[in-house]
Structure 1
């Protein structure tokens, strides 16, 4: 049996240093190797330098995808920091839609060797990776969660992730990420000015817009005009709800009519992270 470990960095592979937690080379690889059955062979792809997940972005997703595709028949464990785990979960799920691979993401809130959750999460990831099947999942706090719609809902608790249901990902137009594309997540808020929104959209190729509830926005002609102008200029705008669950239902409230008249796309049940990845790949 062979298994691929992609170690990107994150808390799971850190240890205390003079200025706080820092990555330690070999820590994750050694811990996973010690858990393997005697006949197992561990292949590794280790990022250099190891990353705090706050620094993970499109080119790193491409690196992960290249390593996965270079080992076509192996189950994969990816160790990763928790802060951008939801983005990476959505990125891999959508980029590999239709590809029958088993990919298990894993991280922790406390490093290996510190009496926290790391060892249990890594064992769960290994057990999950060795089970037949396909898809991208997160092994965390005793749960195996589908990675398409992850939400980190707590910044400190061991059980810090939830998974929101997502529509089944269709094969995307692209299978990798163009790091030159300028995309972002923007949030409507009371008092936001059209000038602020226009300024942000002027330097972007597209954006996810977090709107209110089931799909409403302020009935401000200037705000709606800024959105319509961006869409007319060819910028992809995709709406998602500011609520963690439930998604969007256009037409429920009259206060949403102006929003939908701008030509903005309906992200439906998508999390902001999933919607952003959709813009990158489609």
Structure 2
């Protein structure tokens, strides 16, 4: 039977600054932190959502800077199993270092469903580390507000994967961290394309079951590929093109992977005949090379000859996608599909005008 938005929100605690405590700060284990958090929620008169919260057991508690593709698949599988049981609304508390990456990955993985996932975290711990003999909320922390707003957003039940932070919410694929310690550490935008526009407001039970069946068919393969999958990044610096060429050649002996080529400005990359040949060879070996910009906003274009040459050598334009969104899409395609041709086809089929600024040739 289809669940409704009156059903409990599944709250997932995955570690990070939010649940850190003590001196030096370290993430509390779930068996210590969750009872404290539950009591704090119940003590708040404003926590009218208390009866709608359930705690989804999660065994993976770690600093988000340590997350790997295998860990991303863990959260996908955890939420997928709960979604299969009929739950639709989730709040995931995680660390800020890879929050945008994990959010974008879950958005890719659950595209086409009617699930509602909200990710949040904090720049300061929820609990006051100066109070070592009792657990109490730090009045100067952003954690409590971020959690309550994420719960309210999830309670509305709107389909899709979002990130809520610092009083704002955005589709997960548009979000990036722009400050290392300010409370307003993230930004995003609402002009999201795929996968945000693929979520279904009201998904009939039959279609939901078909979606779930499709996911279950490949779950074992996804878990297996997660053990060895790699997404590489090559960051252009003011060096000659041979420096980039040597970096690219170093990954060509490895199994087909995703490679993010981070160019200057609108995606400009130093040219050499050798580098162009290596890009052709990368394509032949099954690697997916995505052209991206080091700039946080604007993405890539082919207005400059200094950047347009690479697209003649099988580089795929990342358009206006953020680096976390490019990583997430590459990772999901590498996990989900078994051949370079299918991965490239899916990337190109999923691109829309809000993703890309490269003109068709």
Check whether TM > 0.5.
yes
CA deviations on 1:185-238 (whole Å, 9 max, x unpaired) are 221222151223311444362311112222321122222222222112221111
Note if 1:53 corresponds to 2:64. yes
Q: Does 1:221 align with 2:221?
A: no
Which residue among 208, 212, 233 is the counterpart of 2:264? 212
Give the Cα separation in 2 of the matches to 1:22 and 1:261: 49
Is 1:12 paired with 2:18?
yes
How far is the alpha carbon of 1:184 from its aligned partner?
A: 1.5
Larger radius of gyration: 2
1:86 aligns with 2:100: yes
Contact 1:9 1:47 in 2 (8 A): no
Local SS of the residue matching 1:122: helix
The answer to whether the 8 A contact 2:102-2:328 is kept is no
1:258 to 285, 289, 309: 309
Correspondence 1:155 to 2:202: no
Alpha-carbon distance between aligned partners in 1 of 2:110 and 2:146, rounded to the nearest angstrom: 24
**Larger displacement relative to structure 2 (226-235 or 162-171):** 162-171
Q: CA deviation at 1:148?
A: 0.9
The answer to whether the 8 A contact 2:88-2:114 is kept is no
TM-score (norm 2): 0.71
Residue correspondence of structure 1 range 126-275 to structure 2 within 5 A: 126-164=151-189, 165-169=191-195, 176=222, 178-179=225-226, 180-191=228-239, 193=243, 194-203=245-254, 205-250=257-302, 252-275=303-326
Equivalent-residue separation in structure 1 for 2:53 and 2:177 (angstroms): 32
Is the Cα–Cα contact under 8 Å of residues 4 and 45 in structure 1 kept in the other structure?
A: no
Q: Secondary structure at the match of 1:246?
A: coil
From the superposition, tell whether residues 41 and 132 of structure 1 become closer, same or farther in structure 2 (CA, over 3 Å): closer
Mapped partners of 2:165, 2:308: distance in 1: 40
Does structure 2 retain, via aligned residues, the 8 Å contact 1:187–1:209? Answer: yes
1:41 shift after superposition: 4.5
Uncovered stretches (5+) of structure 1, i.e. residues with no partner? none
SS of equivalent residue, structure 1 residue 195: helix
- 2:33 aligned partner: 27
Residues 4 and 42 in structure 1, CA contact (< 8 A), matched pair in contact too = yes
C-alpha separation in 1, matches of 2:48 and 2:75: 22
CA distance in 1, matches of 2:48, 2:277: 58
Deviations 1:122-152 (A, max 9, x none): 1111111111311111121111122112110
TM-score (norm 1): 0.90
Higher helix fraction: Structure 1 or Structure 2?
Answer: 2
- Specify the alignment match of 2:55 in structure 1: 43
Paired with 1:155 and 1:63, the residues of 2 have a C-alpha distance of: 26
Q: Structure 1 residue 241: deviation in Å?
A: 1.5
Alpha carbons of 1:158 and 1:77: their partners in 2 closer, same or farther (altered >3 Å)?
same
Determine the C-alpha separation between the residues in 1 that align with 2:293 and 2:66: 26
Question: Per-residue deviation at 1:97?
Answer: 0.7
SS at match of 1:216: coil
- Unaligned runs of at least 5 residues, structure 2: 1-6, 129-137, 200-213, 334-361
